[in-house]
Every structure is written in structure tokens, then in C-alpha cells.
Amino acid sequence: MSSSPQAAALPTLTPRDWPSHPSYIYAGYRSTAKRGPTQPLIPLKASLGELRQPVYGHNSIGELDHDLTRNARRNGEPLGERMILTGQVLDERRRPVRNTLVELWQANACGRYVHKVDQHDAPLDPNFLGAGRCLTDDEGRYRFLTIKPGAYPWGNHPNAWRPQHIHLSLFGEYFASRLVTQMYFPGDPLHQYDPMITGTPEKVRNRLIADFSLDVTEEGYALGYVFDMVLRGADETPFENR
């Protein structure tokens, strides 16, 4: 009995490009020695891997969740340089991936997070939370309005400062499909000193750096940056979890 034409036509996925991703444990990034796994990963049973997303999933996207300049206002505008971050989530064939939940979190313009563990001697902004989320549209595109984050010290090595960056995570249809990466800004002199960048193979580090875009920039309001995220294949974005 011959196989059906439909089955024969199903595409095969390109194997993961593991050498393009940073190592779990990297000597230059000290805390990875404590949290990087040293034993083989344990596969989850299918029933656990198919858990639906929790309450912050697709069905609870608020009207201002994508706009970090407005979603935490209490008594005025957040301080700092306004910016627009947009891009596409793409598969290995550069096809758009729609209805993907994109989460964003970052420091404020002074380089401080709204988190009790962050004790950096920099002011908090009462009108800026530093977190947002949105869904990709039919073209796989996401868009955030936010404030450009500041650099901050982090104690990893002498005089250690993290470059300006934004954290991004992607959820597919299931909770277990989460991927996490970081986006950096072009021309930052701190790139060469940051072990999260230097821990990524040099030939693919440019995939972590956004492009400035005058087309995305809005006159008199905010500068624009484009950062595409590719899920698999030769152009795959380096992710922090494999």
C-alpha cells in the first residue's frame, strides 16, 4: 500500500543549529556555574509538555500591554528616550509565525528593574513598569512602544556593566514551547565586555543586535528599531534556553 501524496509532501524541519547558541555554562558569566545544568536533561512526558498556557496567555492581552509608555502610568509620563521596537517572528523558511505571544521586560532609563532583588543605586520611575506583551499578527509582526533602557552594573567581574538591552520571550501554542533571548542596540561600546554576548559564537552575534530604522521612527515622538526572531534554520536567533 503506497503512502498518501499528502504525507509524502510534509516538510521536514531543519535540525537545530546548536553551535549558534551560547553554552549553558560559560566561564566569563559567573552565575551560569550555579544555574547551568550539569546532568543530561530529562524529557517531559507528552501530557506535561502539552499543558496550555497559564493566565498570562493569549486570551488576556490588555489594550495597553504592548505600550510600556502608558501601561503603568500613575502621575505622568515615564522618563527617558521613547522608542519603538518591532519585527517579525519567522520560521526556518522565513515564513511569518502568527498568533505567537511575545513578552518583553527591561530596565528603566536609569538602568534599574522594578524588582526587589535589584538594588542598583539608581532611581525607580513610578510611571514605568518595564514589562509588556503582545501577539504577532498575520504577518508574524510584533510592535512595542517603550523607553530605551539604561546600562547597569551587575557584579559579574570588576567594573562590570551590562549593555543596554531588552529581554524577549516567545510562546507557541503550549506553555512548554517558551524561548528566551536578548536584543541589543547597535554601536554600544559595552558589547565587547559583556559575557552574554561574547558567550554567543562570534559569527552569529549580529543576530542579537537590532537595526535602527528611520521608517519605523515616528517624527517628533520616538526612534524605531527592528529585531526579527527566527525560530530555526541557518538564520536562527540565538536563544538562552535550548
Q: Which residues have a catalytic role annotated?
A: 113, 152, 162, 165, 167
Helix (H) or strand (E) holding 6, with range, is helix 5-9
Could you tell me how many residues make up the chain?
A: 242
Q: Which three cell numbers stand for residue 125?
A: 520611575
**How far apart are the C-alpha atoms of 140 and 39, rounded to whole Å?**
36
From the list 224, 200, 221, 228, the residue with the least C-alpha distance to 213 is: 224
Strands 141-147 and 82-90: antiparallel
**How far apart are the C-alpha atoms of 132 and 63, rounded to whole Å?**
11
**How far apart are the C-alpha atoms of 184 and 222, rounded to whole Å?**
17
Q: Which three cell numbers stand for residue 3?
A: 503512502
Cα dist. 72→78, 83, 128, 131, 177 in Å? 9, 16, 5, 9, 28
**How far apart are the C-alpha atoms of 213 and 106, rounded to whole Å?**
21
Nearest-5° Cα angle at 144, 140 to 149: 130
User: Where on the phi/psi map is residue 196: left (φ > 0), alpha (ψ -120 to 50), or beta?
Assistant: alpha
Backbone φ and ψ of 47, nearest 5°: -65, -35
